[in-house]
Chains A and B, each alone.
Chain A
Amino acid sequence: MTAFTSGRALRIFAAASVILNGCFPALWILATAFKSEVELTTKPITYWPQDPTAANFVAAFRDQPLPLYLANSAIVALGATLLSLLLAALAAYAIARLQLKRRGIILAAIVAVSMFPLVTLMVPLFEIMRGVGLLNSYWALIIPYTVLNLPICTLILVSFFQDIPRDLENAAMIDGCTRLGALWRVVIPLSAPGVFTAGILAFVNAWDEFLLALSFNSATAYRTLPVGIQMYQGEFSFPWPTISAALVIAMVPVVIVILIFQERVVSGLTSGGVKG
């Protein structure tokens, strides 16, 4: 065996093991979603559906309002992403570009938000939301998610804004733009990769969140996906085939987003110290 082929074999092995590790659980659930209840509870277990059935997907849509949960998750995650980008962009511009005393402390104060565990804030937040009548509404989740995303979005945008030459901005202002006009027309477009990275992180964080969603929006009409998926379990039963089908449906949008944006997501994620 030459060094070349062994290097080649090693590379294939490396790629295969990374792919297997990352995709196996999703593929397993995909296979499970096509098995019947009987096949699933037969020992020894089957690795590939022997008699594929679409019945689980029908059941997933029948037993719970899955499209509603998907829509709720999308509305909450998009809302929180846009709002956190807006707040973070304004703050980051002030920190990165304007005359500001104690710049470092102000940035640290924003980043310190991530030190506060969500579960510790849950009860007071519940009281606040109850007080203003926002429980079981999109805002009950959009507002807290926005704040939780502020540290990471601000950090990323500050580092991108700092890299944009001041001359470009000045030129725009000479052409009659205000400061904010320059931010909107020059700084933001030039920092598009940073805005995108911050946005995708904010979106995934909001899309994933379970604890607040479980406690604040327990009514069916406002349940998000992670909470809704839990509703399939019964008193004595755990309908795995249906849950698997629901998980598959819930993962499809995320996989599509990843497939479209994977290059930008990876380069964005790896461009700075970011939170997991």
Chain B
Amino acid sequence: MNTRPPGRSLRQRLADPDEATLAAWLLAPAFVFIAVIVVYPVLVLLWNSVHDARLLTGQPARWAGLENYALVIADAQFWRALRNTLVIVVVTVPGALVVGMGLALLANTAVRWKGPVRLALLLPWAMPLAFVGLIFAWFFHSDYGIVNDVLRRLGLPTPIWSASAMLTMFAVCIATIWKTSSFMALILLAGLQTIPRSLYEAAEVDGASKWTQFTQITLPLLVPSMLVALIFRTLTAIQSFDIPYSIPGPGEDTQTLAMYIHMNAVDYLDLGYSSALAVVMFGLSMLTTWVYMRHIRGEEAR
């Protein structure tokens, strides 16, 4: 397979290197970029997080040990931001899955208007998060938004959404679920279409109800495609920034972890503290990945 005449010239070797060398050359650009854009920044992040690096003191960075982390633990706003982030994860990840499942089942039923259906599934996915945030902020405007208009027509109370942290979080979660469920639907739709019809026909013969068919056939067969989608959805939910940034609530009460990191970095220019917060967030991402991986391995072992 790899039999080459010995004693090739340098030029020959450069023009047609052996496979291992070629592989290394082909992988090099990707890894150089990863080293510069991910590995080095992570090292800088760790270094910053143990230093007092506030650009506005006019002083050079000073070794601070775990001081920044101690400040994080004592910081009430950090805990609020963490709570808000976790609320978004816990509400919107299952929310996107359930709504996405609904959309996928509906789209699978809908044989008509294929083009518009596809457009409707792709549009939320392709719309920038920052736009989605703006549009939903307008939907939930207390005077001129459509949500309060519908509530008013139904004779229900029309709250001032932005005045309450809970209501603002509700709007943020709805916007996030709308934006992310359609992609979930696309992935589930692909899964649905690979399930052989014969399985349902056999179940039909056995007299199984539609619901039994759904829980016994559809769901279990969709689990693999769901899990991959869920890992990525959870990781991006932990990073929620654009939508809560565009739908402001009272004060900082609906700030997410990503927003708080951004504020400490860009508005306060406190690199040490924002890095310590970032390390905490990174830990959260790792923990999430680890939990899913364990689950996937557990599934495979069974």
CA A207 – CA B126 in complex, angstroms? 9
Q: Considering only CB atoms, which chain B residue lies closest to A110 in the complex?
A: B30
Interface size on B, residues (CB 8 A): 100
The reply to whether A143 and B37 form a contact with Cβ atoms under 8 Å apart is yes
The reply to whether B261 and A119 form a contact with Cβ atoms under 8 Å apart is yes
The reply to whether B23 and A116 form a contact with Cβ atoms under 8 Å apart is no
The reply to whether B33 and A146 form a contact with Cβ atoms under 8 Å apart is yes
CA A144 – CA B30 in complex, angstroms? 12
The reply to whether A29 and B36 form a contact with Cβ atoms under 8 Å apart is no
Please name all residues of chain A whose beta carbon is closer than 8 Å to the beta carbon of B109 when the two chains form the complex: 10-11, 14
Interface residues of B: mostly helix, strand, loop or mixed?
helix
CA A90 – CA B146 in complex, angstroms? 50
A interface residue count range (under 10 / 10 to 19 / 20 to 34 / 35 or more): 35 or more
Q: Considering only CB atoms, which chain A residue lies closest to B20 in the complex?
A: A99
Please name all residues of chain B whose beta carbon is closer than 8 Å to the beta carbon of A15 when the two chains form the complex: 106-107, 110, 112-113, 116-117
Please name all residues of chain B whose beta carbon is closer than 8 Å to the beta carbon of A269 when the two chains form the complex: 183, 186-187, 190
Q: Considering only CB atoms, which chain A residue lies closest to B100 in the complex?
A: A276
Q: Pick the residue among A95, A114, A123, A128 that contacts B232 (CB under 8 A).
A: A114
Please name all residues of chain A whose beta carbon is closer than 8 Å to the beta carbon of B183 when the two chains form the complex: 269, 276
- Stretch of A51-59, A184-192, A208-216 contacting B (4+ beta carbons < 8 Å): A208-216
CA A224 – CA B120 in complex, angstroms? 25
CA A109 – CA B39 in complex, angstroms? 11
CA A44 – CA B123 in complex, angstroms? 29
Q: Beyond A144-B37, A211-B241, is A179–B129 a contact (Cβ under 8 Å)?
A: no
B178 an interface residue at 8 Å Cβ cutoff? yes
CA A221 – CA B48 in complex, angstroms? 31
CA A106 – CA B120 in complex, angstroms? 37
Q: Beyond A18-B121, A98-B22, A208-B128, is A119–B134 a contact (Cβ under 8 Å)?
A: no
A87 an interface residue at 8 Å Cβ cutoff? yes
- Stretch of B164-172, B196-204, B274-282 contacting A (4+ beta carbons < 8 Å): B274-282
The reply to whether A110 and B271 form a contact with Cβ atoms under 8 Å apart is no
The reply to whether A110 and B34 form a contact with Cβ atoms under 8 Å apart is yes
CA A255 – CA B145 in complex, angstroms? 25
Sample 26 A-B pairs with CB under 8 A, ordered by A number: A10-B109, A15-B106, A15-B110, A18-B107, A44-B149, A87-B33, A90-B29, A91-B26, A95-B27, A99-B20, A100-B23, A116-B38, A117-B239, A117-B258, A121-B38, A122-B262, A123-B45, A179-B22, A204-B126, A210-B130, A226-B131, A230-B246, A255-B119, A259-B119, A262-B118, A276-B229
